Amino acid sequence: MNIIPRSGWGARAPRSTTTTSWSQRTEFIVHYSLGPTTQSVRAIQDFHMDGQGWSDIDYNFLVDVAGRIYEGRGWLGVGAHAPDHNTSGIGVCMIGRDGDSTLAAKRAIRWLYDEACRRAGWNLAKLGHRDVYATSCPGNELHAWVRAGMPVDGGAAGVPAEHVGDGLVGPRALRRPAPSPQ
């Protein structure tokens, strides 16, 4: 999958940036935007910067219902999506409300999760925002999916088996070792 860079959605420059390192990343936190699925990433950024007074869009990545992935603060930018979890957690937002998520959106989120684990070198905890903060985010449907382990039927397309977080998806999981000749 491709990540649409900030230049691809007309991002404003951040007022400031803080970065962390992979050694600090232990959590992957799923959010929803609680707005229409048609809301632009730029509109979300404008709200965060002008309405909330934050330095930038608060998520690390955003995903829309068509499965497109947008770069927010990126892999190692410290976000503003979950108090006390912005250094440890990569925040990914599904653009929409409870019940709006699609298989395409879930595949994109799962791809980001697998890629984050590959880059970190270990499995990050799969969390919904409500698991670390008193909020309804990311909605009942998406939260149940996260708690179920973020399954996507057919596996994480395009991701080699060794990159899949729980190691149960892909051809290697299906292949039995050949019997040794006696």
Beta bridge partners of 19: 77
Q: Which is nearer to Zn ion, 89 or 155 (CB)?
A: 89
| Inter-CA distances, 11 with 42, 59, 79, 97, 137, Å | 6, 13, 15, 23, 24
- Tokens for 127, please give them: 């969390």
- 137 binds Zn ion, rule: CB under 5 A: yes
What single-letter amino acid sits at 124?
Answer: L
Distance in angstroms (rounded) separating the CA atoms of residues 5 and 131? 29
Taking the complex as a whole, how short is the minimal distance between the CB of residue 137 and Zn ion, in angstroms? Answer: 3
Distance in angstroms (rounded) separating the CA atoms of residues 65 and 51? 25
- 68 binds Zn ion, rule: CB under 5 A: no
Which of these segments, 7-15, 26-34, 41-49, 111-119, binds Zn ion (CB under 5 A)? 26-34
- 57 binds Zn ion, rule: CB under 5 A: no
Q: Where are the beta strands (DSSP E) in 33-166?
A: 61-63, 69-71, 89-94, 125-128
- 95 binds Zn ion, rule: CB under 5 A: no
- 85 binds Zn ion, rule: CB under 5 A: no
Taking the complex as a whole, how short is the minimal distance between the CB of residue 54 and Zn ion, in angstroms? Answer: 13
- 48 binds Zn ion, rule: CB under 5 A: no
- 143 binds Zn ion, rule: CB under 5 A: no
Task: List residues near Zn ion by CB under 5 A.
Answer: 31, 129, 137
